[in-house]
Structure 1
Amino acid sequence: MSPVLTQLENLRVLQPPDLEWITQTGTYQEVSIGTVLIQEGQSSDSIYFILEGTVAILISQHNYDSDQEIARCGKGEVIGEMSFIDDRLPSATVKTVEYCQILALSKRKLQIKIERDPDFAARLYQEFAAILSSRLRNLSKLLAQSKIVPGQALRKVLFLFAILNDNDIDWMVTRGRKENAPAGTVLIQQDQPVEALYFLLQGNLAVIFSMIIDGKSVEKELARRASGEIVGEMSFVESGNASASIKCAENSLILAVSQELLREKFQSDRGFATRFYRAISLVLIDRLREGLVQRGFGQKAYSQDQELLDDIEYEDEIPLDVLEVTLLAGTRFKWMINRLQGN
Structure 2
Amino acid sequence: MPFNIFEKADSKLLAWIRDVSVVREITTSCRLIEEGSTPDGLFVVESGAITVCTKQADGGSLALASLKAGNLVGEMSWLEERPAVASIDAGPGSRLLQIPREALESINQSEAFICHLLYRLIAEKLALQVQGQNAWVHRFAATDQEPLRKVLVLFAELEEKDVAWIARSGKFKRLVAGDVLLQEGDNVPGLYLLLAGEARISITENGSWQSVGSSRRGELLGELTMLNPQAAGAAANVDTLTGIELLMLDKEELSMTLNADPRLAKRFYKGIARMLSQRSRDQLLSRGFAEASRIAEELIDNEQLGLDQLSAISSAGLRFDWLCRQFQDKEG
What range is the shorter-chain TM-score in? Answer: 0.7 to 0.9
Q: Which residue of 2 aligns with 1:164?
A: 158
Q: Which residue of 2 aligns with 1:231?
A: 221
Distance 1:81 1:292 in 2: 16
Structure 2 residue corresponding to 1:85, chosen from 79, 87, 95: 79
Q: Show CA shifts across 1:6-56 (max 9, x none).
A: xx9444553212212211221223213522111223332231111112211
Distance 1:326 1:225 in 2: 18
Task: Give the TM-score, by structure 1 length.
Answer: 0.80
- Secondary structure (helix, strand or coil) at the match of 2:247 reads strand
Q: Which residue of 2 aligns with 1:112?
A: 106
Q: CA deviation at 1:143?
A: 1.0
Structure 2 unmatched runs, 5+: 292-310
Structure 2 residue corresponding to 1:149, chosen from 125, 133, 142: 142
Structure 1 residue corresponding to 2:37, chosen from 15, 34, 42: 42
- Secondary structure (helix, strand or coil) at the match of 1:206 reads strand
Q: Which residue of 2 aligns with 1:315?
A: none
Task: Give the TM-score, by structure 2 length.
Answer: 0.82
Distance 2:225 2:151 in 1: 17
2:134–2:212 CA contact under 8 A, matched in 1: no
1:164–1:275 CA contact under 8 A, matched in 2: yes
Structure 1 unmatched runs, 5+: 1-7, 300-323
Q: Show CA shifts across 1:275-328 (max 9, x none).
A: 1111111112122222224652399xxxxxxxxxxxxxxxxxxxxxxxx98222
1:186–1:246 CA contact under 8 A, matched in 2: yes
1:49–1:78 CA contact under 8 A, matched in 2: yes
Structure 2 residue corresponding to 1:327, chosen from 301, 305, 314: 314
Counterpart of 2:234 in structure 1: which amino acid? Answer: A
Q: Which residue of 1 aligns with 2:130?
A: 136
Counterpart of 2:64 in structure 1: which amino acid? Answer: I
The count of corresponding residues between Structure 1 and Structure 2 is 306
1:25–1:253 Cα change, 3 Å: closer
Higher helix content, 1 or 2:
2
Q: Which residue of 2 aligns with 1:14?
A: 9
1:156–1:267 Cα change, 3 Å: farther
Counterpart of 1:230 in structure 2: which amino acid? Answer: L
Distance 1:30 1:107 in 2: 19
| Identical positions, percent | 25
1:179–1:256 CA contact under 8 A, matched in 2: yes
Q: Which residue of 1 aligns with 2:277?
A: 285
Structure 2 residue corresponding to 1:261, chosen from 229, 253, 265: 253
2:134–2:203 CA contact under 8 A, matched in 1: no
2:55–2:290 CA contact under 8 A, matched in 1: no
- Secondary structure (helix, strand or coil) at the match of 1:134 reads helix
Q: CA deviation at 1:222?
A: 4.0
1:43–1:93 Cα change, 3 Å: same
Counterpart of 2:263 in structure 1: which amino acid? Answer: G
Counterpart of 1:326 in structure 2: which amino acid? Answer: I
1:11–1:127 CA contact under 8 A, matched in 2: no
Residue 103 of structure 1 pairs with residue 97 of structure 2 = yes
Residue 24 of structure 1 pairs with residue 19 of structure 2 = yes
Residue 71 of structure 1 pairs with residue 69 of structure 2 = no
1:283–1:224 Cα change, 3 Å: closer
Relative contact order higher in (CA < 8 Å, ≥ 6 apart)? 2
Counterpart of 2:236 in structure 1: which amino acid? Answer: A
Counterpart of 2:223 in structure 1: which amino acid? Answer: E
Distance 2:289 2:199 in 1: 25
Q: Which residue of 1 aligns with 2:323?
A: 336
1:155–1:226 Cα change, 3 Å: farther
Q: CA deviation at 1:112?
A: 1.0
Q: CA deviation at 1:330?
A: 1.8
Once structures 1 and 2 are overlaid, which stretch shifts more, 68-77 or 151-160? 151-160
Counterpart of 2:141 in structure 1: which amino acid? Answer: I
Distance 1:340 1:63 in 2: 46
Q: RMSD in angstroms over aligned alpha carbons?
A: 2.8
